[in-house]
Structure 1
Amino acid sequence: MQTLTVKIKATDKSFIHDYKSELAAGVDLMAANSGSIESGSRAMVKTGISLELPEGYEAQVRPRSGLAYKQGVTVLNSPGTIDADYRGEIGVILINHGDETFTYKKGDRIAQMVIAPVVQADFVSVDDLSDTERGAGGFGHTGI
């Protein structure tokens, strides 16, 4: 598996996590403080970390499957994108789809982060696009 050096600045060194398994794609992000999110509400939860990503890479903030399944809490703008030129603290926008208030404590794992390569497209304006079998079919065109 390929590795990449990423500089990380943390308000608390315990917020820096390792990958949980040898082949894990994501590393957990933790809450930098305690709080709660009412059912049907959303909140920005700070993580206490900032990154310096190499040019050509992004960090994607994704939900933790267990939190989504067991609590109904997920990342609202999933995946959230952290660009290589952003140097601020990472915040996670969580939304509570569950029936109960979701309470989290400082250090709780709230999301996961995946580092991914980025390709910037060179867009070319055209009058027509090539035909395909699918065409413009979408939004359930293959059935439910």
Structure 2
Amino acid sequence: MSMAGDTTHPLRIQRLSHAGDLPLPRYESADAAGMDLLAANAEETPIVLAPLARALVPTGLVIQLESGYEAQVRPRSGLALKHGVTVLNAPGTIDADYRGEVQVLLVNLGQESFTVTRGLRIAQMIVAPVTRVEPIAVTAVDETVRAAGGFGSTGLQGRGR
């Protein structure tokens, strides 16, 4: 049975000289949504993230997305769970017209220093379609049951809180 999501799209990737020996991003399982991004810092220059420190980590990749798509850079759950290391601006967005090096803004929210070594899987990249909208000014919006309740308000409905 063929599913609507079975279609693949080309992703042109240019390896910069400092990533020449690293593999291209790839899906690690048949149903994985994201491809792992690898650190392309020099072997002799590990990036040490002290607790609460942040650093821009190079991947050595330039991508060419199809128009109408974006790439989202998201944390890897294992780094977050085991070390408290995550992507600071998650998800980071790479627009279809961006042609610079993909870099990952990592932050160490853990209690111990963390070292980013060359080739370490530092984040995952998900390519997704973009829906564009046309903003239209109105004098009022439709009412809903929820109305203006926010920040956890849906979890309180019907509980007398």
Q: Does TM-score exceed 0.5, indicating one fold?
A: yes
Kindly state the Cα deviation for residue 143 of structure 1 after the two structures are TM-superposed. Answer: 4.0
RMSD: 1.1
Matched, 1:81 2:93: yes
- In the superposition, the TM-score normalised over structure 2's length comes to 0.86
Among residues 2, 8, 12, which one is paired with 1:7 in the alignment?
12
Between the aligned partners of 1:61 and 1:95, the Cα distance in structure 2 is: 14
Which consecutive unaligned segments of at least 5 residues does structure 2 have? 1-5, 157-161
Percent identical = 52
Q: What is the CA deviation profile of residues 57-96 of structure 1, one whole-angstrom value per residue up to 9, with x for unaligned ones?
A: 0000000000000000000100000000000001111110
What is the aligned counterpart of 2:40 among 32, 35, 52?
Answer: 32
Q: Say if 1:15 and 1:48, in contact at 8 Å, map to a contact too.
A: no
Counterpart position of 1:120: 132
Could you say which structure has the greater relative contact order, defined with CA pairs below 8 angstroms and 6 or more residues apart?
A: 1
Q: Bigger shift: 134-143 or 114-123?
A: 134-143
Larger Rg: 2
Q: State the alpha-carbon separation in 2 of the partners of residues 105 and 39 from structure 1.
A: 17
Looking at structure 2, the residues matched to 134 and 143 of structure 1 have their Cα atoms a distance apart, in angstroms, of 11
| Contact 2:146 2:154 (C-alpha < 8 Å) held by counterparts | no
Segments ≥4 residues shifted beyond 3 Å: none
Q: Partner of 2:83 in structure 1? A: 71
Relative to the length of structure 1, the TM-score reads 0.96
In the alignment, structure 1 residue 139 sits paired with structure 2 residue 151: yes
- How many Å separate the matches in 2 of 1:55 and 1:81? 14
d(CA) in 2 for partners of 1:62 and 1:26? 9
What SS is found at the alignment partner of 2:133?
coil
SS of the residue 1:142 aligns to: helix
Q: Which runs of 5+ in 1 are unaligned?
A: none
